[in-house]
A and B are shown apart, each in its own frame.
Chain A
Amino acid sequence: MARHNLNTVIGFEFFRTVKKRRFWIATLAIPVALALVFALIVISNESTSTTAEAQKNARLSFAYTDDSGLITETLAATFGGTKATDGVQAIADVKAGTVDAYFVFPADPATQPVRVYGVDKGIFLNGTYDAVAKQILVVAAQQKIGSPRLTALAQGDVRTKSQTYKNGQVSGGLNAVIPPMLFLLIFYVSIILLASQMLGSTLEEKENRVTEMILTTLNPTTLIVGKVMSLFIVGLMQMLIFALPVVIGYLFFRSNLNLPDLDLSHLALEPAPMIVGALLLLGGFTLFTGTLVAIGAVMPTAKEAGTYFGTLMALIWVPFYIVSLIVSDPHALIVQIFTYFPFSAPVTAMLRNGFGSLTLLESVVVIAELFILGFIALRLAVHLFRYGSIEYSKKLSIRYALRRRNHA
């Protein structure tokens, strides 16, 4: 009967959610917005490409003086420049619009600025002067060095290929960080998508005065577990719908969208961080779900629950204020506090798990803490719903509800 009722609750809650027009408007708004952004990017890229082509073909006419002695007249001519003999006249020519710009190359361009006088062509096109002046100096320096290799080295155009070891084994580096971090992403998306619905899940019974009918028909644990599971299914569906335009965009419009060609084969799926990440996700989800449902059971209306809801939501973002410390000094006191404080623990521990600084012992402690507290929160939520939701229009006294014991 309990299993039958659980399925009934899941089915009822799921279908009543997905049957609502409001749900589809909210759900489709994001992919539609993404599709619009992608379309704008494609159009913009085409326009940028056309503009770049036009700029490439458009020649800049400029005058210059060079106190450094690095720039040859031949080099300047290839960029459209002619040497000026009178700086004041050159500026007057710019003002008159007979040349586009006048560049004054100083004696020591490494320490002194190149002064540029140009016709105003708008914020974006004015940048061309700066780019051309710099490029002339770069090419002039390359010509002085006389070797493309040395020029590249001088420009710091150097690649390195690292291999690091952890416990005597080759570590995955950044490729090993990304996969466990996916759990953090899923945690954020699921909490953001589902939190307000979790909060409202038991409020609805109170606001509709349907609590007594429910409590005499159905075990409250079955009701709450059914609601949470249906919300999770709804959240999964929403995530898939949100991801769909990204996947389509990547697979079919990658070049138009200037998306990088991701080579997923380089990602290192290390079992331990993946398992720990998955358990932290589940534990964190359980804790937040239980807490939100408990808040809903105590508060008479969604409006009054909002204050506590906001505080709880803020806690999942707090660890990002110390993310640099989490990466650089995971044993700092504040990082340790955030690792073990229940409502900041999921995010902090998942970050540390991704960066490889969460020890096995710490993982076990945090996972156990999240599951134990999550279970307690869910039990409390059920208890508060059972003995609290009958207080339809007033806030439940938790102490009063907890005093109520089971029948002897």
Chain B
Amino acid sequence: MAPITFLEAIRQALFEEMAADPRVVVIGEDVSVYGGAFKVTEGLLEKFGWERVIDTPISESAIIGAACGMSYLGLRPVAEMQFIDFIACCFNQLTNFVAKGHYLWNAPAPMVVRGPSGGGVHGGPFHSANPEMYFLHTPGLKIVYPSTPYDAKGLMKASIRDNNPVLFFEHKFLYRRIKEEIPADDYIVPLGKAVVRREGKHLTILSYAAMMHTSLEAADALAKEGIDAEVIDLRTLLPLDEETILQSVKKTNKCLVVHEDTKTGGIAGEIAAILSEKAFHDLDGPLVRVTSLDTPVPYAPTLEEAFLPNAQKVFTAARELAHF
């Protein structure tokens, strides 16, 4: 198999799930003839027709509401947010209705909400968001944020087959920048399982999505200085794989969290709390955060670069923590 891009991996997952399961439909803005703003749904219309590839008006609440209604009759809709920033427009529909259904009235909503997220492509303040933490605080949702083509495909398939509403964040910086050979056979990557990307013993670096690659780059640089970092890709943020995190930190005794989301209220804070509760005596240093600044995502390349974490920032923070 020739290597495929991150974007192609997601497209393949949609394609294969739709072919295998007539319950799966795609709904969103410009998803049919145009194939979506980033072409993730390209080719689906030709194969699966108008009934299963549904264009909508610019109405995010209607997209989520309709997808939810469809799921109640046993369908498995995959709803696209043209940019994940726009998920804010249907916040109420998602958090107050979709997410609460199973707990309150025994109504599972098997649906996926997917969309391009993240910065680094000069998208500016309304097309670069990492809004995962708004939803991490919402019981009933699952949150997936993959970093490799293999994971993107396997996690998308697992998300579609899951009986719960899953938010699937696709970092747009990765769409066409990384390629990977992936198996031809049907496979899934289970939700709620992190993966160790690089083994090490001096400190643990936890990350996900585009920052996973940044963290690996930093780990390479650290290795040249004799610092052996273990890098873990969280993959699913909700539910969070505490077991893998704790196992690693109990081995390395130090933890650095790298995320592209802004600092205050980011998942690093949640992880710090978990470690404080469950691995306090294993820690030989403070939990360190490398994150974006607590500002909107600025537009100018010089500003966005200052806003985002990068390998140098991770390297510096990790080295300091290793020597703590």
A and B form one complex? no
